[in-house]
Copies of this chain bind each other. A is one copy, B any other.
Amino acid sequence: MAIKLHDLAAAEDDRRFSPYCWRVKMALAHKGLEVEIIPWRFTDKEAIAFSGQASVPVLVDGDNTVHDSWEIARYLDAAYPDRPLLFSGEEAQTLAFFFKHWCERSVHPHIMRTVVMDLYNGLHEKDKPYFRASREKRFGKTLEDFGADQAGAIAALRAALDPLRPGLAEQPFVCGRAPGFADYILFGAFQWARSISPAKLLMPDDAVYAWRERLLDLHGGLARKAKGYPV
């Protein structure tokens, strides 16, 4: 029985824009595991109520239900240790956990500021009130005010990526010669943006741009084939 993944979806055109779900889809492909993707929208709370969760990703593998992209990655390495690993060892996993928190604090907010209005406009109509209310509470301002300075947000994003560039000048992936879960953590944020916004986040002469190209091509071009804007 194939693994099932509940995956955040936009309106009827089926764009998939959750950075956390993209982490998991890349991780499943990394491990060569078949998956049945089940589209889910913010207000479909009942569809995942069985998991005890209110948001996706939720992964169901036989009798095991796992939520949270980080826990899913750990589960996949533990359940399928003979397939390519997402973490090469304990120290790498611990440093990847730091990387996840760095990414969510230093990269995600700038991307959110950049794409927030495109994201909102692409949502299913039934999800728009939920999204506006929950995010305006989180940001402390209207979506329109939060996203007003797109050029400033893109400049801040590019500056925030600075610590990545020395490593990517020497190695193709965040994790070294081969991709690992830390690559998918960062890539999820870029695929989120690409899925719903035409904003140009990176310049083509940036080492991070070249890295993103490699990630778009991985696993048979899984991410590149997904509905989204050109990068």
**Residues A88 and B97 in contact, CB atoms below 8 Å apart:** no
**Residues B94 and A175 in contact, CB atoms below 8 Å apart:** yes
> Which of B88, B98, B162 meets A91, CB within 8 Å?
B88
**Residues B98 and A92 in contact, CB atoms below 8 Å apart:** no
- Contacting residues, chain B, for A89 (C-beta < 8 A): 88-89, 91-92
Could you tell me the distance between the alpha carbons of A101 and B102 in the complex, rounded to whole angstroms? 12
Closest Cβ–Cβ distance, residue A108 to chain B (whole Å): 12
Closest Cβ–Cβ distance, residue A186 to chain B (whole Å): 10
**Residues A105 and B171 in contact, CB atoms below 8 Å apart:** no
- CB of A37 closer than 8 Å to a CB of B: no
**Residues A167 and B92 in contact, CB atoms below 8 Å apart:** no
- Contacting residues, chain B, for A91 (C-beta < 8 A): 87-89, 92, 175-176, 180
Contact with B along A172-193 (1 / 0, CB 8 A): 0111110010100000000000
- Contacting residues, chain B, for A175 (C-beta < 8 A): 91, 94-95
- Contacting residues, chain B, for A140 (C-beta < 8 A): none
- Contacting residues, chain B, for A165 (C-beta < 8 A): 101
**Residues B182 and A95 in contact, CB atoms below 8 Å apart:** yes
Could you tell me the distance between the alpha carbons of A105 and B87 in the complex, rounded to whole angstroms? 26
- CB of A59 closer than 8 Å to a CB of B: no
- CB of A75 closer than 8 Å to a CB of B: no
- The 10 A-B pairs of least Cβ separation, nearest first, read A95-B95, A94-B176, A101-B163, A91-B92, A102-B163, A88-B91, A92-B92, A91-B175, A97-B167, A90-B176
